[in-house]
């Protein structure tokens, strides 16, 4: 019995720590590399901890590349696309959840059905259309497609459906307009799920690589993943610079996650149910 009582935690901590090491070693290596001078990168045997701390990589990334601009671009794009997704999805979700009309289920089914087609099918025509309207290489072109997000609509509709009809009916009898009901009742009562969706969308936009890669090519417009990718092409051997950039690019998201952990957990579990 005593043996068992000791064995269980021991087993837990050894397995959990093993996985934790697997998860953390790459970050350890990233931080260590980012603090090395160029010469120390290729020393043999390898230096696990840099013998001499050097900020060469951090200096270089801001001097040879508009990296500060990329940070700003990423912030702008992520905030803008999160706002667009939430505003348009909340409005649609409200209609699908609370207003009865003929053909509603059919329209909703059509919205959901589009989730089945992989993005690779639609991206070529969307690219061609954006090109025709000269919206390539602009944030407008990058952000416009986010106004339709079936997953967000679905998630919000499931939530708004659970808001009791009595709230809506009572306001209606008091003469409140639909816009008032939406803004004063539905939106405030949806805040927890909106926060979750917002965090998930923000992270998705912050980390997105594929769509910006297709739409943006101007150095001044690049978001962080694109900036890193472009540095990877130019400074392929200067890993101190690349790792400094990677570290900077992930810090805001890790901080956001630590602050918003509670929201995020429920969000992922909801995402899992979809």
Partner 1 sequence: MQSERNRKKWLTIILFLLPSTIGLLVFSVIPIVYSLVISFTDWNGLNPWNLAAGTPDFIGFGNFKSILEGEEFWRVLKNTMYYIVLYIPLILIASVLAAVLLNNTYKAIGLYRVIFFIPVLTSWVAAALIWKWLLSDEYGPINAILSFVGIDGPAWLQDRIWAMPGIVFASIWKDMGFFALIILGGLQAINPTYYEAAHMDGANFWSRFIRITLPLLSPMLFFVLIMCVINSFQLFPQVMIMTQDAGPYGSTQVMVERIYKFAFKYYKMGYASSFSWILFVIIFVFTAVQMKLQKKWVHYDS
Pick between residue 162 and residue 261 the one whose CB is nearest to partner 1.
261
Q: Is the backbone peptide bond immediately before 45 cis, with ω within 30 degrees of 0?
A: yes
- Shortest Å distance, C-beta 164 to partner 1: 20
Q: With respect to partner 1, which residue has the nearer C-beta, 72 or 210?
A: 210
Token pair in block for residue 215: 């739409």
121 and 59 Cβ atoms separated by less than 8 Å: no
Query: Which among 28, 30, 72, 57 is positioned nearest to 206, based on CA atoms?
Result: 72
Tell me the closest approach of the beta carbon of residue 35 to partner 1, in angstroms. 14
Report which of 175, 183, 200, 170 is spatially closest to residue 90, judged by C-alpha positions: 183
Of residues 162 and 229, the one with the C-beta less far from partner 1: 229
Q: Least CB distance from residue 242 to partner 1, whole Å?
A: 5
**Rounded-to-integer distance, Cα 265 and Cα 39, Å:** 43
Least separation in angstroms between residue 16's CB and partner 1 is: 5
Q: What is the dihedral of CA 222, 227, 232, 234, to 10 degrees?
A: 70
């Amino acid at each position: 019995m005593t043996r068992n009582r000791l064995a269980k935690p021991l087993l837990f901590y050894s397995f959990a720590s093993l996985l934790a090491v697997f998860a953390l070693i790459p970050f350890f290596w990233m931080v260590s590399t980012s603090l090395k001078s160029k010469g120390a990168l290729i020393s043999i045997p390898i230096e696990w901890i840099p013998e001499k701390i050097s900020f060469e990589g951090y200096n270089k990334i801001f001097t040879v590349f508009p990296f500060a601009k990329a940070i700003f671009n990423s912030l702008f794009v992520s905030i803008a696309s999160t706002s667009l997704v939430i505003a348009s999805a909340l409005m649609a979700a409200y209609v699908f959840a609370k207003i009865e009309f003929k053909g509603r289920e059919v329209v909703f089914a059509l919205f959901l059905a589009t989730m089945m087609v992989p993005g690779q099918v639609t991206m070529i025509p969307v690219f061609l259309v954006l090109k025709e309207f000269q919206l390539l290489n602009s944030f407008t072109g990058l952000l416009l497609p986010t106004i339709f997000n079936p997953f967000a609509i679905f998630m919000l509709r499931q939530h708004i459906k659970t808001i009791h009809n009595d709230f809506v009916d009572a306001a209606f009898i008091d003469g409140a307009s639909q816009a008032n009901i939406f803004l004063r009742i539905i939106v405030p009562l949806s805040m927890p799920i909106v926060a979750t969706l917002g965090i998930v969308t923000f992270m998705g936009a912050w980390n997105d690589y594929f769509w910006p890669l297709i739409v943006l090519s101007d150095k001044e417009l690049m978001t962080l993943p694109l900036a890193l990718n472009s540095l990877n092409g130019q400074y392929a051997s200067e890993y101190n610079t690349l790792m400094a950039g990677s570290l900077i690019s992930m810090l805001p998201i890790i901080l956001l996650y630590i602050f918003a952990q509670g929201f995020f957990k429920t969000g992922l579990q909801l995402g899992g149910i979809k």
